Chain A
Amino acid sequence: MTVDITLIVLMAVFFAAGIYLLLERSLTRVLLGLILLGNGANILLLAMSGGGGRSPLYVSGIAAEDYTDSLPQALILTAIVITFAVTAFMLGIIYRSWVLGRQDVVQDDPEDRRVADQPSYDYEDDADIAADTTEFSDDGSDTSDASDAPSSGAVSADRSGDAR
């Protein structure tokens, strides 16, 4: 296949600009980056379909190779319309984000950041609990671990871990 340099360059510029904008903080820029990426993808499909020729409106007598490839065109059309829908949706998000927070930025997730600050000590795994020697304690429910006190009515093994 003959490669059209212009189209390839255009696609590369679209992708480069789209990625650059996509990594931005401002949601508007992110949206513009998305649109550019979509355009770039469309140009990619167009370039891959080969050189241009007659438009795919059937006229009897024309050889099949003379028409432009019609299948990528159908795919691109679908992509254009869906990109429009996604753009409109993101505009709604930008508006809502503005109304709620008076800002349209992509925010960091504080929960994710908090994961790194987790301490090594985990109560569930590391807390020392007294051994209990009965399943039936007197105070209604069995020994709860809100308090580490041993259950009433039984003497806990006061030896340390050696006891086991």
Chain B
Amino acid sequence: MLTVLIAMFALALVAPVLFSRLGRSAFFVLAAAPAAAFVWLLVELPGVLAADQAAPNGAPGAPPSLVIPWIPSLQLELAFRLDALAAVLCILILGVGALVLFYCARYFKNDDPDVGAFGAQLLAFAAAMFGLVLADDLILMFIFWELTTILSYLLIGYSRHRLSARRSALQALIITTFGGLAMLVGLVMLGQEAGTYRLSEILADADALAARGTLVDVAIALVLVGAVTKSALVPFHFWLPAAMAAPTPVSAYLHAAAMVKAGVFLVARFAPGFSETAFWHPVIFVLGMATMLLGGWRALRQFDLKLVLAYGTVSQLGFLTMVVGLGGRDGAVAGLGLLLAHGFFKATLFLVVGIIDHQAGTRDLRVLSGVGATSPVLFAVALVAAGSMGGVPPLLGFVAKESVFEAFAHRAEDGAAGTLLLGGIVVGSVLTFAYSARFVWGAFALKHGGPRTAFPRVRTSFLLAPAVLAVASVVFGVWPGPLDALVQPYAALFASDDAAPHLALWHGFGLPLLLSGVTLAAGGALYLLRRPFEQFQERLPSMREAEVVYRSVIGVLDDVAVWITGRTQRGSLAFYLFVILATAVVTPLTALIIFDAPLPTSFRIAQSPAQVVVVGAIIVGIIAALRSNKRFMAVLMVGITGYGMAAVFALHGAPDLALTQMLVETIVLVAFVLALRSLPARLWNRAESRHRLLRAVLGIAFGGIMAVIAMSAMASRNAAPISLAYPQMAYDDGGGANAVNVLLVDIRAWDTFGEITVLALAATGIASLIFIRGRSDHRRRADGVEDGSVDRGQELLDARGRSGAALALAARFADVPRDPWLVAGRTLAPERRSIVFEVVTRLIFHTMIVLSIYLLVAGHNLPGGGFAGGLTAGIALAIRYLAGGRFELAEASPVSAGALLGAGLAIVSLTAAAPLLLGGAVLESYILEFWLPVFGDVKFVTSTIFDIGVYIIVVGLVLDVLRSLGSEIDERSEADDPVEEDAGADALVPPATEGVRP
């Protein structure tokens, strides 16, 4: 079974390729798949019919089945089971499917758009239906169910450019998905109640389950909702006529033989066990009867042939649901018989309509005229099918209807409800005959007072598919034995004392035959009286249509969505943050209160007085930062808090942290200055005062809640920290005395790996923000640069006034030909040079580099490490840049930043991967102890290589920051027109900008 299923899906996947090669003849290839599967089905059929339908999978005498475990913890398995009911459906799915695909080969033209996708979707749909009826697991069935929903959406919306197609596809999707979701809830409830999701086991256990009470009743009701929406019963019937916007083959397959039958199939599946649950009969009969009558009534008002059939299908589906849901053996036999008959005749009729539309260019029955005479074979085929629909002997439709009448007559003996049902069925059948006749008349009759419709000859291959189905209606009508053999095993599932009736052409004289006769007579009369009847229909007030209700519901949904989105999505970052942070304050607070969080009992002011002083200084800095109006002042204040943090770290016994914090804070200050020098000096306060108050309140609240959470967390600690053993572990196994460093490069090296990757990314990000066009990693050597040409500011020198005079003076001060202290210091304009800075830089640069290498190497046993070392080296480079300009920086860094970052990452990755080659774990470190001649005993830990990689990456990051925020901005601002910022350019920008040129 699984092979057939997979083969069909696989062929569907490949289909577009076939179409590009073969054109529309690829449909023949596609038709072969379900045809082959049909043959396979026929081969399996004897075994299936002979099996005991109620037996569980795997037991002797059980129908063919296949179970593959998939997700055991969810009780989800690929369980397939081919029993009699599934076989009946498969005949329709595979047989009609093959014929429809064959028909498509002549329906479409070679150059129709998207034919390939269409073919693939149609075949996939057939495969999905096949999987649906075979599925023995509730969730698997749901998966195939939804698959058919999606594929029907795609198929209905085939002509994408037509609004009606798009709209009806979406409508069908929404309604069937709504039903599908309700069904899912019901299935899950059922599965949980039953303790298993295996359908066959649930059905075997059905009596016990049904007795469990309301939960199972509700579950079954929800499952019925799914069936109701899929099979287009009132009030969800309106999607089916709208879906007639689909190409006719789709209507013939989906809306006659396959998709809508899924709902009926579901009802048939659950009927043996659950037809006695509380909601079953009311839902089935009320909705089914309403649908049957409404559909028939509406069908008589349509002028589009396809719509006549559509409403007819709606009516027939209501009919079918009632019969199949009747329960009992007679209902089962009649239901399946009617299912098959309907599939045959409805598909035929739709295919005929397709042919008419294709040849005549219209489906309007007021326009079509004389087609019957022009194309007698077509007429015969349609006549047979319509006759079967109307219940004319000796066709299959008549045979089925006889059984139906018999079943309902049997029920009518039991009470008034049964009689009512029987009466309703008869009325519905009368309407059915009437619209069948209307169809035949409308399509083929010669209408007076109008021209004959031009109707080219129909090719045989085009006509073949409906003809085969029409023949089937005739043959099985006359000889219903094989069909009877098909439906009997399913009927045997019902517990009943009476023997099951048989499908037969002649049941003898009795109520059913009388009812058939009445139906034919009344239907014929209705057809003959069609004109007065039309007028009668016109005069009746029209009910509110279900589709209008649907549209207004969707409209209300849209309006509500827009309203909510408009309220919450204001586009203002501050608003979003506000909401998030307010929630962050309220929710933990509530949790803390409700769950009675512990609070600490022992407090102390501080560990030492020095800590109080430092913290006080930091708080002063913070408040100054808040209140400051000048950009750099605020930055400086935040820098002070950073240095204060370093002091706090040092007091707390964290030397590594203090070191790193100080270095980072210094570089951050440099970066701030470099980046913000082009911006105006003042920060403007534009927020209104009430917003400021809100923000202050939120900030204070957040700070307060964090304090409470921190204290509560500290009081909740009841286990010893895991890091108690780390210092010892670091020394013994990691080979280093500095536990923090060993943590970074060895114990938690993966964290550091991720961290330096982030650094590399951030560096690249900064470069891409500033450079725009490539990193320009090539260095411009200072050789080619003129003395004193960089950062000239010449225009200001020419200006009058104090600033000009000051610059001229500065130029004179520095313009001395003496020995250079830096490599490219001469490139700077004289007024920008500072000799003190150059001297100091020259003197301390190499020392700083040596210091950074010391920090790197010593980090394992003493405070230091790759980060501190790299930052120190970065500061050294920063000093050279600040003293000598961008050419100095280029000369100072022989390797480009990108190369450094890449090299660092490579080294780190190698350190991570190399131990694998030696048989160890990833990032495992080794302690190597050896003796060298001059150096004596040497102890080398391989995690130092990791640290070297970190060092290089940090240097690369700082270099990138200097190059982007420093050199590149320098170049750009020199290239720009050095005009003072114009207040008119942007009202947000304050006009006073002075002295911001670098």
Which residues from chain A sit less than 8 Å from chain B, CB to CB?
1-26, 28-29, 32, 35-36, 39-40, 42-44, 46-48, 50-60, 64-65, 67-71, 73-78, 80-89, 91-96, 98-99, 101-106, 108-113, 115-118, 120, 122, 124-127, 129, 131-138, 141-145, 153-155, 157, 161-164
Contact = CB atoms under 8 A, between A and B. Distances in A.
7 contacts: A16-B700, A23-B578, A68-B652, A77-B740, A84-B668, A133-B362, A157-B304
Contacts of A129: 163-164
B762 A88 contact: yes
A164 B981 CA distance: 69
Pick the most buried of B302, B634, B727: most chain A CB atoms within 10 A of its CB.
Answer: B727
B702 A16 contact: yes
Please list the 6 inter-chain residue pairs (A to B) with the smallest Cβ-Cβ separation, ordered nearest first. Answer: A116-B566, A112-B571, A16-B703, A109-B571, A85-B762, A12-B703
A89 B765 contact: yes
Nearest to B721: A69
B960 to A, nearest CB: 8
B625 A95 contact: no
A154 B700 contact: no
Pick the most buried of A75, A109, A124, A164: most chain B CB atoms within 10 A of its CB.
Answer: A164
Contacts of A127: 163
Given A56-B739, A57-B738, A68-B653, A91 B671 contact: yes
A120 B556 CA distance: 9
Given A43-B645, A71-B723, 5 more contacts: A7-B615, A9-B619, A39-B645, A74-B744, A84-B668
Nearest to A62: B727
B611 A6 contact: yes
B728 to A, nearest CB: 7
A92 B418 CA distance: 81
A86 B649 CA distance: 22
Contact of A56 (B577, B651, B740): B740
B362 A8 contact: no
A9 B554 CA distance: 54
A9 B555 CA distance: 53
Nearest to A8: B707
Nearest to B744: A74
A78 B702 CA distance: 24
A95 to B, nearest CB: 5
B723 A2 contact: no
A66 to B, nearest CB: 10
A131 B649 CA distance: 78
A96 B770 contact: yes
Q: A-side binding surface: helix, strand, loop or mixed?
A: helix
Contact of B863 (A55, A86, A108, A120): A55
Contacts of A94: 675-676, 679
Given A16-B703, A39-B645, A92-B964, A136 B358 contact: yes
B235 interface: no
Contacts of B489: none
A95 B740 contact: no
A53 to B, nearest CB: 5
B248 interface: yes
Given A98-B679, A145-B163, A15 B600 contact: no
Interface string B359-371: 0011110110000
Contacts of B619: 9-10, 13
A59 B731 CA distance: 9
B634 A29 contact: yes
Interface stretch (B186-194, B709-717, B824-832): B709-717
Contact of B704 (A12, A36, A154): A12
A24 B721 contact: no
A112 B576 CA distance: 12
Contacts of B602: 1-3
B565 interface: yes
B702 A15 contact: yes
B634 A28 contact: yes
B303 A163 contact: yes
B698 A92 contact: no
Contacts of B765: 89, 92
B30 interface: no
A55 B654 contact: yes
B792 interface: no
Contacts of A106: 573-574
Contact of B706 (A7, A12, A46, A52): A12
A25 B985 CA distance: 19
Contacts of A132: 162, 164
A87 to B, nearest CB: 6
A55 to B, nearest CB: 5
B710 A8 contact: yes
B574 A15 contact: no
A28 B683 contact: yes
B547 to A, nearest CB: 8
A134 B357 contact: yes
B758 interface: yes
B162 A155 contact: no
A152 B251 CA distance: 23
A120 B399 CA distance: 53
Pick the most buried of A60, A68, A155: most chain B CB atoms within 10 A of its CB.
Answer: A68
A46 to B, nearest CB: 6
A81 B664 contact: yes
B361 A95 contact: no
B605 A74 contact: no
A17 B699 contact: yes
B101 interface: no
A118 B562 contact: yes
Nearest to B720: A65
Contact of A84 (B565, B648, B664): B664
B123 interface: no
Contact of A1 (B361, B715, B731): B715
B148 interface: no
Given A32-B638, A80-B657, A124-B167, A57 B863 contact: yes
A52 B607 CA distance: 8
Given A135-B159, A155-B364, A3 B863 contact: no
Given A46-B654, A134-B357, A120 B695 contact: no
A92 B607 contact: no
B699 A15 contact: yes
A24 to B, nearest CB: 7
B458 to A, nearest CB: 15
B928 interface: no
B813 to A, nearest CB: 32
A145 B163 CA distance: 6
A23 B577 CA distance: 7
Interface in B569-610: 569-574, 577-578, 581, 600, 602-607
Contacts of B698: 19-20, 23
B908 to A, nearest CB: 14
Interface string B965-981: 10001001000000001
Contacts of B566: 115-118
B752 A82 contact: no
Contacts of A110: 571
B413 interface: no
B755 A78 contact: yes
Nearest to A42: B645
Given A39-B642, A43-B645, A81 B954 contact: yes
Pick the most buried of A53, A135, A138: most chain B CB atoms within 10 A of its CB.
Answer: A135
A9 B606 CA distance: 11
Nearest to B634: A32
B626 interface: yes
A2 B603 contact: yes
Interface in B492-537: none
Contacts of B625: 17, 21, 32, 36
A150 to B, nearest CB: 11
Contacts of A134: 357, 361-364
Interface in B639-679: 641-642, 645, 648-649, 651-657, 660-661, 664, 667-668, 671-672, 675-676, 678-679
B675 A91 contact: yes
